[in-house]
Amino acid sequence: MDDEVIGGGQNKRSPMTLNVSGLWDVVPRLDHYRLSRRAKRPSLSTLHEGNLIKDPNIEAGQVGVSQQGHTGIKLGWIQGVLIPCLLNIWGVMLFLRLSWVVAQAGILQSIIIIGISAAVCVITTLSLSAISTNGEVKGGGIYFIISRTLGAEFGASVGIVFAFANAVSASMNTIGFCDSLNDLLRENNLKIIDNGVNDVRIVGIIALIVMILICAIGMEWESKAQNFLIAIIVAAIFDFLIGTIIGPHNTEQKAQGFIGFSSEVFMKNLGPNYRFSENSNQTFFSVFAIFFPSVTGIQAGANISGDLKDPASSIPIGTLLALLISMLSYVTFVFFAGGAALRDASGFVMNSTIIDCIPNVNCSFGLHNSYTVWYGT
Q: List, in order, residues 6 or more apart from 238 with CB less than 8 Å away.
A: none
Residue 295: CB atoms within 10 Å = 21
Q: Please give the backbone phi and psi of residue 32, each rounded to the nearest 5 degrees, phi first.
A: -70, -15
Q: Return the H-helix or E-strand segment holding 26.
A: strand 24-26
Query: Is 14 inside a domain boundary?
Result: no
Q: How far apart are CA 132 and CA 288, in angstroms?
A: 29
Q: What is the pLDDT of residue 67?
A: 41
Query: Is 76 inside a domain boundary?
Result: no
Q: How far apart are CA 217 and CA 300, in angstroms?
A: 19
Query: Is 335 inside a domain boundary?
Result: yes
| Below-50 pLDDT ranges, the chain | 1-14, 35-38, 51-71
Q: How many residues does the chain have?
A: 377
Contact 286, 85 (CB under 8 A): no
Q: How far apart are CA 223 and CA 229, in angstroms?
A: 10
Query: Is 53 inside a domain boundary?
Result: no
Q: How far apart are CA 308 and CA 219, in angstroms?
A: 11
Q: What is the pLDDT of residue 173?
A: 84
Q: What is the pLDDT of residue 54?
A: 47
Q: Return the H-helix or E-strand segment holding 287.
A: helix 284-291
Please give the DSSP secondary-structure letter assigned to residue 80: I
Q: What is the pLDDT of residue 330?
A: 93
Q: What is the pLDDT of residue 333?
A: 92
Q: What is the pLDDT of residue 116?
A: 94
Q: What is the pLDDT of residue 335?
A: 94
> Closest Cα partner for 125 from 249, 261, 264, 299?
299
169: helix, coil or strand? helix
Q: What is the pLDDT of residue 277?
A: 66
Contact 364, 140 (CB under 8 A): no
Query: Is 54 inside a domain boundary?
Result: no
**Helix, strand, coil tally for the chain in percent (to 5):** 60, 5, 30
Which structural domain, as residue segments, surrounds residue 102? Answer: 86-354
Query: Is 225 inside a domain boundary?
Result: yes
> Closest Cα partner for 128 from 310, 314, 288, 328?
314
Whole-angstrom Cα Rg for the chain: 29
240: helix, coil or strand? helix
10: helix, coil or strand? coil
Q: Count of domains in the chain?
A: 1
Q: List, in order, residues 6 or more apart from 6 with CB less than 8 Å away.
A: 13, 14, 50
Query: Is 187 inside a domain boundary?
Result: yes
Query: Is 52 inside a domain boundary?
Result: no
Q: What is the pLDDT of residue 62?
A: 40
Q: What is the pLDDT of residue 27?
A: 55
